[in-house]
Amino acid sequence: MNFLLLSAVENTPVNYLPIAIQSIVAIGFVVVMMGVTHLLGPKRRTQDKLINFESGIPSVGNARQPMAIKYFLVAILFVLFDVEVIFFYPYAINFKELGTEGFWAVLMFVGFFLCGFTYIIKKGALEWEE
């Protein structure tokens, strides 16, 4: 009973006032700095500055050319494997505390991941011949 009264007193809107003030100050700082740099910054618009610049390479042709879907598929696969590693890290750190239940959860995660990986292989996502 004491715990319920204590938690009700602690969760009042006044307790969130420092967070609101900090958010307002941070947003205000960003707005003021952007405004000041826009007003005080140099404004030299020459023809050379107004042309497109792509890492020192002159623009040639149309930018709307179709791109192979394999490129995007490899990018998505990279993200998939990267996320898998991110999920394994906490388990590797806390495997003793997680015990048998954590072990079965990780095995289930690996099983789902392997199902997705075999689906990708069967669909031919890793074959580069066209």
Query: 71-101, pLDDT tens digit by residue?
Result: 777 777 888 778 888 888 888 888 888 889 9
Contact 90, 102 (CB under 8 A): no
Sign of CA dihedral 115, 129, 75, 63: negative
pTM of the full structure: 0.42
What is the greatest pairwise CA distance in the chain?
74
Tens of pLDDT, residues 24-33:
999 999 999 9
- Predicted confidence band at 46 (pLDDT cuts at 50, 70, 90)? confident
The candidate with the shortest Cα–Cα distance to 110, out of 86, 82, 125, 88, is 88
